[in-house]
Structure 1
Amino acid sequence: MAIQRILVADDEESIRWVLSKALKKQGFSVDLAEDGSQARSLAQKNHYDLAILDIKMPGVQGLDLLKLFRAESPDTLIIIMTAEATMENAVSAMKHGAYDYLTKPFDLTALDAIILKAEKAADLTGKIDHLKEELQDHYSVGRAIIGNSQAMQDIYKILGRAAGSDVTILVTGESGTGKELIARAIHVNSQRLGKPLIALNCAAIPHELLETELFGHERGAFTGATERKIGKFEQANGGTLFLDEIGDMPLELQAKLLRVLQEKEITRTGGNQTIQVDVRIVAATNQDILSRVKEKQFREDLYYRLNVVPIKMPPLRERRDDIPLLADFFLQKSKQDLGIDAMEYSEELLELFKTYNWPGNVRELENNIKRAALLSPNQVLTPLDFPDLLEGKKYQRQDESLETLVAQKLENSLSQMNLHEMDTLYEMVLHQVERPLINIVLQKTRGNQIKAAQILGINRNTLRKKIKTLEIDVKRGDA
Structure 2
Amino acid sequence: MQRETALPATEAADAGAFGWHAHSVLIVDDEEGMRHFLERTLKRRCGMVEAAAGVEEAVALMARLHFDLIILDIALPGKSGIEWLHELREQGFGGDVILITAFADMETAIDALRGGASDFILKPFRIDQILNSIKRCFERAHLARENFVLRRALAEHATDLDGLVGHSPAIQQLSAMIRRVGQTPSTVLLLGESGTGKEVAARALHQTSPRAQRAFVPLNCAAISSELIESELFGHVKGAFTGASESRNGLFYYAHGGTLFLDEISELPLPMQTRLLRVLEDRRLRPVGAEREIPVDVRIIAASNRDLAAEVAAGRFRQDLYFRLAVVDIRIPPLRERVEDIPDLVRHFMGLLSTQLGVAPLPITHGLVNGLGAYTWPGNVRELRNFVERSLILGGFPAVLQAGASPETVAADDDKLPLEVVEKRHILRVVEACGGNKSEAARYLGVSRKTLDRKFADWSEGSRSSATEA
TM bin, normalised by shorter chain, reads: 0.5 to 0.7
The equivalent of 1:345 in structure 2 is: 364
1:17-68 Cα deviation digits (max 9, x unpaired): xxxxxxxxxxxxxxxxxxxxxxxxxxxxxxxxxxxxxxxxxxxxxxxxxxxx
The equivalent of 2:380 in structure 1 is: 361
The equivalent of 1:153 in structure 2 is: 172
| Alpha-carbon shift at residue 332 of structure 1 (Å) | 2.2
1:55-100 Cα deviation digits (max 9, x unpaired): xxxxxxxxxxxxxxxxxxxxxxxxxxxxxx975376444225699x
State how 1:317-466 maps to structure 2 within 5 Å: 317-341=336-360, 343-376=362-395, 382-383=401-402, 388-391=407-410
Distance in 1 (alpha carbons) for counterparts of 2:388 and 2:13 = 53
Distance in 2 (alpha carbons) for counterparts of 1:381 and 1:194 = 47
Check the 8 A contact 1:196/1:235 in 2, yes or no. Answer: yes
Q: Quick check: 1:315 aligned with 2:232?
A: no
The equivalent of 1:164 in structure 2 is: 183
TM-score, normalised to structure 1, is: 0.52
Of the three residues 281, 285, 289, the one matched with 1:262 is: 281
| Alpha-carbon shift at residue 284 of structure 1 (Å) | 0.5
Of the three residues 269, 292, 295, the one matched with 1:276 is: 295
Of the three residues 200, 204, 223, the one matched with 1:185 is: 204
| Alpha-carbon shift at residue 335 of structure 1 (Å) | 2.9
Distance in 1 (alpha carbons) for counterparts of 2:377 and 2:267 = 24
Of the three residues 95, 110, 113, the one matched with 2:12 is: 95
Of the three residues 313, 317, 337, the one matched with 1:294 is: 313
The equivalent of 1:215 in structure 2 is: 234
1:95-121 Cα deviation digits (max 9, x unpaired): 25699xxxxxxxxxxxxxxxxxxxxxx
- SS of the residue corresponding to residue 88 of structure 1 reads coil
Distance in 2 (alpha carbons) for counterparts of 1:379 and 1:365 = 14
| Alpha-carbon shift at residue 341 of structure 1 (Å) | 4.6
Distance in 2 (alpha carbons) for counterparts of 1:333 and 1:381 = 25
The equivalent of 1:197 in structure 2 is: 216
* Distance of aligned partners of 1:310 and 1:343 in 2 relative to their CA distance in 1, 3 Å threshold: same
State the identity as a percent.
Answer: 42
Check the 8 A contact 1:358/1:364 in 2, yes or no. Answer: yes
| Alpha-carbon shift at residue 373 of structure 1 (Å) | 1.6
Distance in 1 (alpha carbons) for counterparts of 2:214 and 2:232 = 19
State how 1:108-127 maps to structure 2 within 5 Å: none
* Distance of aligned partners of 1:219 and 1:387 in 2 relative to their CA distance in 1, 3 Å threshold: same
The equivalent of 2:81 in structure 1 is: none
Distance in 2 (alpha carbons) for counterparts of 1:260 and 1:179 = 23
Distance in 2 (alpha carbons) for counterparts of 1:337 and 1:220 = 43
* Distance of aligned partners of 1:230 and 1:148 in 2 relative to their CA distance in 1, 3 Å threshold: same
| Alpha-carbon shift at residue 298 of structure 1 (Å) | 0.7
* Distance of aligned partners of 1:330 and 1:258 in 2 relative to their CA distance in 1, 3 Å threshold: same
Larger CA deviation: 278-287 vs 248-257? 248-257
- SS of the residue corresponding to residue 276 of structure 2 reads helix
* Distance of aligned partners of 1:371 and 1:93 in 2 relative to their CA distance in 1, 3 Å threshold: closer
* Distance of aligned partners of 1:378 and 1:338 in 2 relative to their CA distance in 1, 3 Å threshold: same
The equivalent of 1:234 in structure 2 is: 253
* Distance of aligned partners of 1:306 and 1:374 in 2 relative to their CA distance in 1, 3 Å threshold: same
Give the partner amino acid of 1:192. Answer: R
Check the 8 A contact 1:200/1:242 in 2, yes or no. Answer: yes
Structure with the greater relative contact order (CA < 8 A, sep ≥ 6): 1 or 2? 2
* Distance of aligned partners of 1:363 and 1:384 in 2 relative to their CA distance in 1, 3 Å threshold: farther
Check the 8 A contact 2:220/2:262 in 1, yes or no. Answer: yes
Distance in 1 (alpha carbons) for counterparts of 2:353 and 2:184 = 35
* Distance of aligned partners of 1:302 and 1:391 in 2 relative to their CA distance in 1, 3 Å threshold: same
Aligned length: 276
Give the partner amino acid of 1:236. Answer: A
Distance in 1 (alpha carbons) for counterparts of 2:352 and 2:220 = 26
Distance in 2 (alpha carbons) for counterparts of 1:328 and 1:258 = 42
| Alpha-carbon shift at residue 319 of structure 1 (Å) | 1.2
* Distance of aligned partners of 1:89 and 1:374 in 2 relative to their CA distance in 1, 3 Å threshold: same
Check the 8 A contact 2:401/2:407 in 1, yes or no. Answer: no
| Alpha-carbon shift at residue 333 of structure 1 (Å) | 2.0
Distance in 2 (alpha carbons) for counterparts of 1:255 and 1:91 = 41
* Distance of aligned partners of 1:90 and 1:159 in 2 relative to their CA distance in 1, 3 Å threshold: closer
* Distance of aligned partners of 1:143 and 1:246 in 2 relative to their CA distance in 1, 3 Å threshold: closer
Larger CA deviation: 149-158 vs 161-170? 149-158
Question: Where does structure 1 lack aligned partners over 5 or more consecutive residues?
Answer: 1-84, 100-123, 125-130, 132-138, 394-479
Give the partner amino acid of 1:88. Answer: T
| Alpha-carbon shift at residue 188 of structure 1 (Å) | 1.6
* Distance of aligned partners of 1:385 and 1:204 in 2 relative to their CA distance in 1, 3 Å threshold: farther
* Distance of aligned partners of 1:358 and 1:96 in 2 relative to their CA distance in 1, 3 Å threshold: closer
Check the 8 A contact 2:163/2:381 in 1, yes or no. Answer: no
TM-score, normalised to structure 2, is: 0.53
Check the 8 A contact 2:391/2:397 in 1, yes or no. Answer: no
Distance in 2 (alpha carbons) for counterparts of 1:213 and 1:317 = 36
Distance in 1 (alpha carbons) for counterparts of 2:182 and 2:162 = 17
Check the 8 A contact 1:254/1:299 in 2, yes or no. Answer: yes
- SS of the residue corresponding to residue 229 of structure 1 reads coil
Q: Quick check: 1:246 aligned with 2:246?
A: no
| Alpha-carbon shift at residue 152 of structure 1 (Å) | 1.4
The equivalent of 2:62 in structure 1 is: none
Give the partner amino acid of 2:11. Answer: M
Distance in 2 (alpha carbons) for counterparts of 1:287 and 1:325 = 28
State how 1:7-86 maps to structure 2 within 5 Å: none
The equivalent of 1:60 in structure 2 is: none
| Alpha-carbon shift at residue 325 of structure 1 (Å) | 1.5
* Distance of aligned partners of 1:301 and 1:357 in 2 relative to their CA distance in 1, 3 Å threshold: same
Distance in 1 (alpha carbons) for counterparts of 2:288 and 2:182 = 32
- SS of the residue corresponding to residue 314 of structure 1 reads coil
The equivalent of 1:173 in structure 2 is: 192
Displaced runs of 4 or more, over 6 A: 378-381, 384-387
* Greater Rg over alpha carbons, structure: 1
